[in-house]
Amino acid sequence: MTPATGGMNPPSTPAAAAMGNPPSSPAAAREALLRARWIAETVPMGPVYVNLDAEMQEAALAEPVAPLDAARFAPVAASAPTAESVAQAAALLKNAKSPVMLIGRASRSLEGWNARVRLAEAIGARVITDLKRVSKPGRRIYWRKDRSQRVPMLGVAILSTSQGVLTSRSAQERGIGGEVICYVW
């Protein structure tokens, strides 16, 4: 089963592949739509494409479609971690010497963001909200040693230098430049 085809089986012929393997009957179309809804409503949630055959859509039904248990296609409810695993994670975080959290904007709710901030403050963690890759194989970006440069959004650049991997601040203090691997903020 593949999400790209609305949960239907993969195409078996080149013609079916070219058409996106549309459901071949009204019952299969209904099932494909239910599976598409399930995929769209399951984390990480996103768009789903279902290709329905136009001729099948316009044709009269030869017989009524049998009832279907739609609950079979409902998204699985998000499960919560066990109390034991939460306690174990809390103990690990509490005993960490220099915790760092990459929290970003995983959930879009203000309550979720505030909960992550409270956790970071409670354990004294440094927080990274985003990473951005800068140099790429086809496009190298360099940090010049002879002039001060700023990192977007008050972050720090991670550089590959002749003295190893350094932050932009450390490289500037040492008077060296290097290739910008990424920005962290």
Query: Which of 73, 94, 116 is the last residue in one of the domains?
Result: 73
Cβ-Cβ contacts under 8 Å for 169 (sequence gap 6 or more) = 156
Range of the domain at 165: 131-184
Is residue 106 domain-shared with residue 161, that is, in the same domain?
A: no
Residue 37 in any domain: the answer is yes
Is residue 88 domain-shared with residue 120, that is, in the same domain?
A: yes
Burial class (CB in 10 A: 0-12, 13-18, 19+), 185: middle
- Give yes or no for residue 3 having a pLDDT over 50: no
Query: Which of 73, 98, 114 is the last residue in one of the domains?
Result: 73
Is residue 124 domain-shared with residue 139, that is, in the same domain?
A: no
Is residue 107 domain-shared with residue 149, that is, in the same domain?
A: no
Is residue 104 domain-shared with residue 151, that is, in the same domain?
A: no
- Residues 32-88 have pLDDT tens digits of 888 888 888 877 777 888 888 888 888 888 888 888 888 877 776 666 778 898 889
Q: What is the pTM of this model?
A: 0.45
DSSP 3-state of 171: helix
Residue 145 in any domain: the answer is yes
Is residue 143 domain-shared with residue 106, that is, in the same domain?
A: no
What one-letter code names the amino acid at 182?
C
As a whole number, mean pLDDT of residues 24-31 equals: 86
Residue 179 in any domain: the answer is yes
Whole-angstrom CA distances from 59 to 19, 54, 105 are 19, 9, 47
Residue 166 in any domain: the answer is yes
Residue 26 in any domain: the answer is yes
Residue 78 in any domain: the answer is no
As a whole number, mean pLDDT of residues 132-138 equals: 89
Of all helices (H) and strands (E), which one includes residue 167?
A: strand 164-167
Is residue 141 domain-shared with residue 123, that is, in the same domain?
A: no
